[in-house]
Copies of this chain bind each other. A is one copy, B any other.
């Protein structure tokens, strides 16, 4: 392409977009042209937002969520229930839980899952920080809210073994059919889990 547009900076910008997850060549082109068409001050805002995020965002010293402050707003919020800690893979998972407006406890972000295939062991995750956070004895229950994948399960089991000696209640999210889902399309493992976990109504 570089020999067709005479604009190397444009080719480079397209390449930048192409490196983003889920963005193919056509989309990258469309996005790059769009950004090029922006007024210069809007383009500066975009570039600035990228650098700003990098410079100003750090990890909460308590739960490892992303924050600008020493403590993230959830850890800093005294009205949250300190007796419950929900362990998640990623800061995005916190957004998902917060959208339910039901969970009032604290979180801990692992920033990954144990994955021997990818060479990720517990030492690459924030396991040490989790243990340190729990050492104040305030937590009563730790909810393992990692994804229902091989890595998510392995990580949940590993942490459960590690934390059980601390006398904590360790729970796992329920499996089952998604609300609004169609039984017909549920895979057999999910359906089996939904059956297994059935409750009286």
Contacts and interface: CB of A to CB of B under 8 A. Distances in A.
A9 B57 contact: yes
B36 A47 contact: no
Contact of A21 (B1, B30, B46, B76): B30
Interface string A8-21: 11101101100011
Given A4-B94, A68-B8, A69-B6, A35 B53 contact: yes
A79 interface: no
Given A21-B31, A36-B57, A92-B29, A5 B50 contact: no
Contacts of A4: 73-74, 94-95, 98-99
Interface residues on A, range: 35 or more
A137 interface: no
B10 A53 contact: yes
How many copies of the chain does the oligomer comprise? 2
**Interface majority SS (helix, strand, loop, mixed), chain A:** helix
A108 to B, nearest CB: 15
A56 B43 CA distance: 13
A49 B9 contact: yes
Contacts of A65: 5-6
Contacts of A40: 54
A158 interface: no
Given A6-B60, A21-B30, 7 more contacts: A4-B95, A6-B66, A7-B57, A15-B49, A33-B91, A36-B57, A50-B50
Interface of A: 1, 3-10, 12-13, 15-16, 20-23, 27, 29-36, 38, 40, 43-57, 60, 65-69, 71-74, 76, 90-92, 94-95, 98-99
